[in-house]
Structure 1
Amino acid sequence: MKAIVHYGAPGWEGLQVMEMEEQQPQPGQVKVRLKSAGLNHRDIWVLYRHQPDAPPIILGSDGAGIVESVGEGVQNVKPGDEVVINPSLGWPEKSPAPPEGFEILGFPDHGTFAATVVVPAENVEPKPAYLTWTEAGVLPLAALTAYRALVTRVQVTRGQTVLIPGIGSGVATFLLQMAKALGATVYVTSRSPAKREQALALGADRVISTEGDWNSQLNGEKVDVVIESVGRATFQKSLDQLKPGGTLVIFGATAGDEVDFNLRAFFYGQYNLLGSTMGSAQEFREMLCFVEQHGIRPVVDKVFPLDDAYHAFKRMDEGEQFGKIAFSIES
């Protein structure tokens, strides 16, 4: 089968489309014939984490498709079921942090950028009927990440004000949609005027330039919650925009892992600093109910065939997308 893999060279040089053998489900597993899949920043990071002398790895964490076959002992799904794939492996119940052994689909195990994928049976859930295949395929990782950050970690409530720096990523667009569904007022930042306009169309209450002074652009208004994934480039601005007692939650660090900040200002401000990543199978099911209840549809930026993997990855790497980049998979 055709698949997007990393193999034979470090970084981008190892990104290629090649033929891979289809796996068959073992006891407790299911084989899904994929209809679509979604690209995430994690897929770019795997280009550097996967060693070039290791066997080829099929990339991809997001996907949706039709169950083709099931292994011995599987009872929760059957061939013909339409499903979305939960990429969070080994995290069954909601907990303060992922358990030991937690992994994400797509590395170190084969992922979803192929005609088929084999996953544990507990990692598939019924596809929301109102979503297209493309929408369902890009939903899982980003929507789960946004849901845990907003609902489990911060517990955002109606009337609060939420600031999302760097609108445009898949998670950020889900954060905007979910926060609005929860009744929050939502502000976003972006360097791109076009993305700021797209965010307004998606429901943002206010948009500001990432590069300008946030406090002056917001007329001195402080916020209850900042949900941060940029890292070093915006961390201090995010912290400075909080109300006393406000909460900063971090789920990523695309612009640098290490930051410096004033501890005295932090404890005098009575701020809360939370980390968040992905989510459990329990939260994945909660997220599916939430998006269906509120009619949330993923923002799809652009759809690529598997053969055009390089341009899809480059579009994400250069930050051109607004929403999710998808792969259409022809079986």
Structure 2
Amino acid sequence: MTINKNIENTQSPRISVAPMMDWTTRDYRFFARLFNPNIILYTEMVTTGAIIYGGANRHLDYNHEEHPIVLQLGGSNPKDLALCSKMAQDWGYDEVNLNVGCPSDRVQNNKIGACLMAEPDLVAECISEMRNAVNIPVTVKHRIGIDNMQSYEEMLHFVDTVAETGCDNFIVHARIALLQGLSPKENRDVPPLRYEDVYRLKQDRPELLIEINGGIKTFTETQEHLKYVDGVMIGREAYHNPYLLAELGQLWNLEAPDRFEIMEQMMPYIAKRMQEGAPLSIITRHILGLFQNLPGARKWRQALSGGNAKTFADLENAISNIKQAMKRTEDYMLEKQN
């Protein structure tokens, strides 16, 4: 495949959907792209071992509609990361990102994720090897701190050490990660958000491209953050309330798409995936939030997740039932409006 330059051509600001394990799959990413052409999409974190030894096609394939798309890698072996970065470039990815933020016990044991913040020299070596292997951008996603390394000065030292490699794009989750004592879920909610540390990083290092992540849920909040940083990464809200991506289109003066039109565009994709043998449920679980915050949201979720599974077993019945669900949801919304 040829190198795709869509990220370089994407208009500022940089708005992205965070990499989320089991959530930002290729099915979700196809769906998310229908809301906004400028949002940058990330894969789930993929370890270098999974790519090298577990089948590259399985872990690297994506839909061409997903561009601009970033592959997030997990690993700490510079040579392996360089190899996987080169594979990502050959596969057509627009950018490669190194995960230095995941607090999971499983990845810590393999020296992956947030624990690497304690080893800035190793991260710098990894980024240097990755950059030498490719022509596409290489970026880092990290926390503001971990465990006993919680000060702004320590985060700045980490960033400065990595930036010496020539890396100039950092996505900062504005919470520390407590690797001892908190679960991954608790690490997403319990440590307080310190947005000011990320703002200060941009102020102290204006030459770097700094993006902020953590707890951001609305267009208004996004606008406020963009006064201080170069980009915003949206996490779980983009999954549970995907229409937020359409609302963010205001940043580029885009016309907001209609939810029902989005589903009409989604239908051929659902049919294609089912013809490939994918169970409908692994696709529909990503679209349950389409009507979030609207009167028909519950009707929509019930129609797609309840009832007899046999009704969705074959393609014809599946498409028919989804269309019926759309009609019932639309009728219910009109009824409520009147």
Give the TM-score normalised by structure 1: 0.28
Greater relative CO, 1 or 2 (CA 8 Å, sep 6+): 1
Instruction: Pick the structure with more helix per residue.
Output: 2
Give the TM-score normalised by structure 2: 0.28
